[in-house]
Amino acid sequence: MTTIDQDAAWAAFAARDRRQDGQFVAAVRSTGIYCRPSCPARHPRRENVCFLPDGAAARAAGFRACLRCTPDAVARDSRAVAAAIEAITAAASPLPLAELAARVGYAPHHFQRLFTRATGVSPAAYARALRAERAGSALQRERSVTAAIYDAGYGAASRFYAEGAQRLGMTPSAWARGGAGVTIRWTIAATTLGPLLVAATDRGLCRVAFDEDEAALAARFPQAEVTPGDASLATLAAAVVALVEGRSQDTTLPLDVRGTAFQEAVWQALRAIPSGETRSYAELAAAAGRPGATRAAGTACGSNPLAVVVPCHRITRSDGGLGGYAWGVARKRALLARESGD
């Protein structure tokens, strides 16, 4: 049975923390009802509240669902999003929003909002990301770029060039040759947390890492042309250093990174965490559209190619512990302290 930290749950309930919806329910002894954590109703006294894993546990204990916040709808919404993701993944061609919503029993515009809130992207954007991910894999596998494009599910090559190639960050033929023909500029920036490699293509940052150098960059991109940075990279590097030093909260720096659809959903969810705040791995998985995929979310954090810019240091364990960090726990602690003003 799931063990719930009653004090932490009360803090989330008192704050009406929407991120905790679906993680537990609040059962109120004085009224006999159970609510989702974000319920807008007036809060009962602390001694009248206990926290249970889900609606089924609450009903088994004799409580009934709150009619105002409808806590059981959280599970239904999660199942609908999961079913939609499964349908998008299995479809040979893009599914219209109306058809997708009808499959899971929701009105189109309501489901669009629901899906976007759960995954961070619209159903159409999720499908585009999935097709581009498949294109990346196919381009590494197929001899023919055209065959790879159609194998990934694009109805026409023009559609891939309109959306997939832009997401991949390089031409499809360059992708198929392991990045050949792509120029990556690099510099080593001095920070108070140690030397920081900052590297970028013409499209945006592709690698930001502590304690790495040109050799490590070349090993990561063996077919690319790796060359020292210019004035434009110096400007970009200065913006990254400002993030490290806590002088900036800029979330608009251009990126040129690639991952699976889930990895990119995790990285997007990481960039949405405000400076000075943290999330648990479970919360991150939920924000990326895969509630319960806590370990996979942790793996996606570990594969993050952009230290600080994609702030995986803002993820901590559910017990409040710092957890791991690819560039050292001491750096993680320092970054969090700077962002919280300590």
**Angle at the Cα of 201 from the Cα atoms of 327 and 150, rounded to 5 degrees:** 105
Question: Tokens at residue 45, please?
Answer: 């006294």
Q: Which of 35, 39, 69, 301 is catalytic?
A: 35
Q: Which three-class secondary structure state does DSSP give residue 184?
A: strand
Amino acid letter, residue 264: E
Whole-Å CA distances, 245 to 199, 308, 331: 18, 10, 11
Length of the chain, in residues: 342
The H or E element spanning position 271 is helix 261-271
Token code pair at residue 247: 């002088």
Q: What's the CA gap between 278 and 340, in Å, rounded? A: 10
Residues 37 and 20: their CA atoms lie apart, in Å, by: 6
- Tell me how far apart the alpha carbons of residues 207 and 249 are, in angstroms, rounded to a whole number: 19
From residue 201, alpha-carbon distances to 79, 145, 183, 330 in Å are: 40, 22, 6, 30
Q: 24 has which bridge partners?
A: 21
In sequence order, the 6+-apart residues with CB closer than 8 A to the CB of 96 are none
Torsion from C-alpha of 217, 221, 226, 231, nearest 10 degrees: -70
Active site residue 301: no
Q: What is the DSSP letter of 146?
A: H
Q: Which candidate in 66, 69, 301, 312 is catalytic? A: 312
Q: Is 206 a catalytic residue?
A: no
Annotated catalytic sites, by residue? 35, 312
